[in-house]
Amino acid sequence: MNDKLVYAITPNQHVRILACTTTQLCEAARRQHDLWPTSAAALGRMMSVTAILGAMLKSEKEKVTVQINGGGAIGTMMADANCKGQVRGFVGDPHQYLVYNDTNKLAVGLIVGTNGYLKVIKDMGLKDQFAGQVALQSGEIGDDFAYYFTVSEQTPSAVSVGVLVDTDNSIKSAGAMIIQIMPDALEEDIVACEQALSTLRPVSELVAEGMSAEDLVRVVFPDAEILSEKPLGWYCDCSKDRFKAGLSTLDKKDLEEMLHEDHGCEVKCEYCNTVYQFNEHDLNVILGFKAACGR
């Protein structure tokens, strides 16, 4: 079953629900970065919620980037997504495999850490950028995003996200669901949400049993109306031109050093590990462009 995201709302329009299955997306990330189980679960959870943030964007020109650093062994984690369902991500240390002694569950909170932040940057296409940042609560990712929505976006939200890693280290199932209380919600809507959530089983287990994104919504709100749905998948939109634009923001002195001492440079895309070579001619073009712009 291909990954999918659905956007739904309760009949009284007081609660909105976004749910997605992300098994293949997480498996693509695992293969791309050779992720070990705890790193795979951490990045998988982060990308699954970032996919939903992408679906909340208003236009195709927009993009949302999430950065998490909690001071733990996994280092900095990055993920981004757009409203077309294209998602990508990477982590500082892909080779983390740690479990909690008592539950034997993957110790995501331990490798992420809680001494740090979750930052959301929305790129509106032009120069307009919105950034919200909150302190990490547990490092387990789901709680941290719930705190972000509630504090930074002032939308009370519940986030359920999970990644199941199989015995051969491949991704068995993954998914996420966000339930948000709209401003005109009543006390009874909030109570209904709390009741539904109190009995909700981990989404990764539900996906492992074969549930679709729509099924996830129906578990919590059987009468919710599905407003839209879209496919999700791993996609990196890097290109040599994008890195050229990045290089042109460097100091003239640094570029000249690369040109005269190293006779070129290479840049690696952290998301997909593609390496782009810039030879002397490329660097001269960039320096020429900077000179023409008076920089």
- Pick the closer one to Zn ion by CB: 150 or 274: 274
- Pick the closer one to Zn ion by CB: 148 or 243: 243
- Pick the closer one to Zn ion by CB: 106 or 236: 236
Q: How far is the CB of 251 from Zn ion (least distance, A)?
A: 25
Q: How far is the CB of 271 from Zn ion (least distance, A)?
A: 4
Q: Are 3 and 232 in contact (CB under 8 A)?
A: yes
Q: How far is the CB of 50 from Zn ion (least distance, A)?
A: 16
Q: How far is the CB of 63 from Zn ion (least distance, A)?
A: 14
List strand residue ranges (DSSP E) for the chain, in order.
4-9, 15-21, 63-69, 77-81, 86-91, 117-123, 129-135, 157-165, 171-181, 225-231, 233-234, 264-268, 275-279
Question: Is residue 24 within a helix (H) or strand (E), and if so which, with residue range?
Answer: helix 23-33
Under DSSP, the state recorded for 274 is -
Backbone angles phi, psi at 176, to 5 degrees: -150, 155
Q: How far is the CB of 2 from Zn ion (least distance, A)?
A: 22
Residues lying near Zn ion in the complex (CB under 5 A) are found at 236, 238, 269, 271-272, 274
Backbone angles phi, psi at 239, to 5 degrees: -160, 165
- Pick the closer one to Zn ion by CB: 151 or 272: 272
- Pick the closer one to Zn ion by CB: 90 or 221: 90
